[in-house]
Chain A
Amino acid sequence: ETGVTQTPRHLVMGMTNKKSLKCEQHLGHNAMYWYKQSAKKPLELMFVYNFKEQTENNSVPSRFSPECPNSSHLFLHLHTLQPEDSALYLCASSQDTQDRGRGTEAFFGQGTRLTVV
């Protein structure tokens, strides 16, 4: 398998549930990202990990908890979510987070469509 794989593709959860989103990349990259895409809004960066270390938390509520056990895997643990958290959650990876002045394109997974009921 190649590229960036996200599971599950769809998830419906209640507000009191605990669930986890999984992301795996087979590209040999060292940086991984979580983005959120709500309806009619741009992709919003949530978290950045570089060489397994979290380098960015974009003011994300604590009900979202990321975990990066190694450079190939990234999780997003969810608990006590709200209906407004329903969105498409996209994982991405890139070579690393070092700027080269030209942008290092990120490779995205297919996303997890989350519905909170």
Chain B
Amino acid sequence: DQQVKQNSPSLSVQEGRISILNCDYTNSMFDYFLWYKKYPAEGPTFLISISSIKDKNEDGRFTVFLNKSAKHLSLHIVPSQPGDSAVYFCAAGFTGGGNKLTFGTGTQLKVEL
């Protein structure tokens, strides 16, 4: 049973437009969430995180929104750039969980010229 779900395996967006990547979770104990980005032949790299005490966290072109009642979070990238083309993983953890992360299956983002 997957506790973190990314239901869209792929997403294609035009350069300059907004990319919205979605993630749903089932475990109510999760209280922090992270997004990782992965290029081919590289390991995932940390992008942005959010604690459950917030509903939004922004870092440059990247914003993560958290809707606790819906157990849903999303990553917005504005404006999208070709270099953003990568696989994006959503991950979740909980206080007392020993910093262990539960990952989603990832969404392949392609930003087209």
Question: Do the two shown chains form a genuine complex with each other?
Answer: yes
List residues of chain B with CB within 8 A of the CB of A50: 98
Is A7 in contact with chain B by the CB < 8 A criterion? Answer: no
Nearest CB of chain A from residue B49's CB, rounded to whole Å? 5
Given contacts A41-B105, A42-B4, contact A103 B44 (CB under 8 A): no
Given contacts A101-B32, A102-B32, contact A108 B99 (CB under 8 A): no
Residue among B89, B101, B104, B105 with the highest chain A CB neighbour number at 10 A: B101
Is B34 in contact with chain A by the CB < 8 A criterion? Answer: yes
Near A by CB (< 8 A), chain B positions 62-113 give 89, 91, 93-106
C-alpha spacing A106/B34, complex, angstroms: 10
List residues of chain B with CB within 8 A of the CB of A98: 99
Main SS at interface, chain A: loop
Identify which of B4, B43, B46 contacts A90 (C-beta below 8 A).
B43
Residue count of chain A within 8 Å CB distance of chain B: 31
> Could you give 25 example pairs across A and B, Cβ below 8 Å?
A42-B2, A43-B44, A43-B91, A45-B102, A48-B98, A48-B100, A50-B98, A55-B98, A56-B100, A92-B43, A96-B99, A98-B99, A99-B93, A99-B97, A101-B32, A102-B51, A103-B34, A105-B34, A106-B46, A106-B99, A106-B101, A107-B45, A108-B44, A108-B45, A110-B43
A-side residues, CB < 8 A to B, are 4, 6, 31, 40-45, 48, 50, 55-56, 90, 92, 94, 96-99, 101-111
What 6 A-B pairs come out closest when comparing CB atoms? Answer: A108-B43, A103-B32, A105-B46, A43-B103, A42-B103, A97-B99
Known: A41-B105, A103-B33. 10 other contacts (CB 8 A): A43-B91, A56-B100, A94-B99, A97-B98, A99-B94, A99-B95, A99-B96, A99-B99, A108-B43, A110-B43
